[in-house]
Amino acid sequence: MTRRHQPHLALFIVLFGLSSGFLVAQTDPGDGHTPSKTPPKDRISSKQSITVEAHLSPEEKEDGDLNEVYQPVYASQKQDCKGAIEKYRTEVIPRAEHAKFNIPKNKFLYLSYRGIGDCNMRLKNYAEAEAIYQKLFDYLPVWPGNDDSDYPINFRSLGLARMAQEKWTEAQESLEKSVTIFDDLISRVSKSDTDFVSTQMANDYRVSQDSAMNLLAVVYFREKRNSEALQLLERAYKQATDFHAPAPIVKQIVDTGVSISIDSVNVSAGLTWSKRALNGN
């Protein structure tokens, strides 16, 4: 292998080192999109159940019933992806497909297929993951909605699956959409009168966008658009540092900047990114 190909390999190591982190973040139970189990202290006793059931609408009851089937499968996903895929397909999805109400139906079809897609990425079944992420767009408009961060996150996941197959043009398209949609979301929530929305939610969106820009920079690099790749990384780095992104996100951007600047034989950029790396970003 020549020296010219070594940075390419380094970037692939960076890329697939990132992929598992992206997937964990995307499916974390604290992401605000996954229905949570009722805390043990709040569980309903048998004496209370009849009274509480009477206050639930039929749609709410159906949502709760589907959640009871979904949650154990979701809980097993990190330990046993193959088993989770099978249970999603045989237990959760058939129940959701026969749901009477549109929102619970789309919600649990979306969550189940997202779990399958994430598991396929972990199992390195990249073509299967790509197909599943594409399928999620059938359910997203109903739940959680195209105004939710899951919309650009799914474009990011789709782009990552395409990168893994070296489908650079298609990956670029998905990741550019992700970055653009995040721009719109950040702009909208930043104007909110509610502090939490205008600060915390906007910063959460920025972190996700930083990851999308980092991946897109790798795509530009593979398309021999090194200057654009480095410009995009500068934007990602500035946003990440200005808005105090988690250290691992900043490190990912810096590692990519170092690799691309070295392969580009860009001395000025190489010195800048290497200094950032040495200084702990």
Walk along the chain (281 residues) and give the pLDDT tens digit of each residue: 333 334 444 455 455 544 444 433 333 333 333 333 333 333 333 343 444 556 899 999 999 999 999 999 999 999 999 999 999 999 999 999 999 999 999 999 999 999 999 999 999 999 999 999 999 999 999 999 999 999 999 999 999 999 999 999 999 999 999 999 999 999 999 988 888 877 899 999 999 999 999 999 999 999 999 999 999 999 999 999 999 999 999 999 999 999 999 998 999 999 999 999 998 76
pLDDT of residue 15: 53
pLDDT of residue 279: 86
Per-domain boundaries in the chain: 3-25+56-278
pLDDT of residue 11: 52
pLDDT of residue 23: 38
pLDDT of residue 53: 58
Query: Structure tokens of 24?
Result: 């964990």
Nearest to 252 by CA among 193, 196, 207: 207
Determine the Cα–Cα distance for residues 26 and 227; give it in Å rounded to an integer: 30
Nearest to 107 by CA among 91, 115, 122, 96: 96
Query: Structure tokens of 102?
Result: 């549109």
Determine the Cα–Cα distance for residues 237 and 9; give it in Å rounded to an integer: 22
Instruction: Provide the residue type at 245 as one letter.
Output: A
What is the CATH class of 3-25+56-278?
A: mainly alpha
**Cis omega (within 30 of 0) for bond into 144:** yes
| Phi (first) and psi of residue 179, to 5 degrees | -60, -45
Give me the sign of the Cα torsion angle 52, 98, 117, 103: negative
CB 148 within 8 A of CB 33: yes
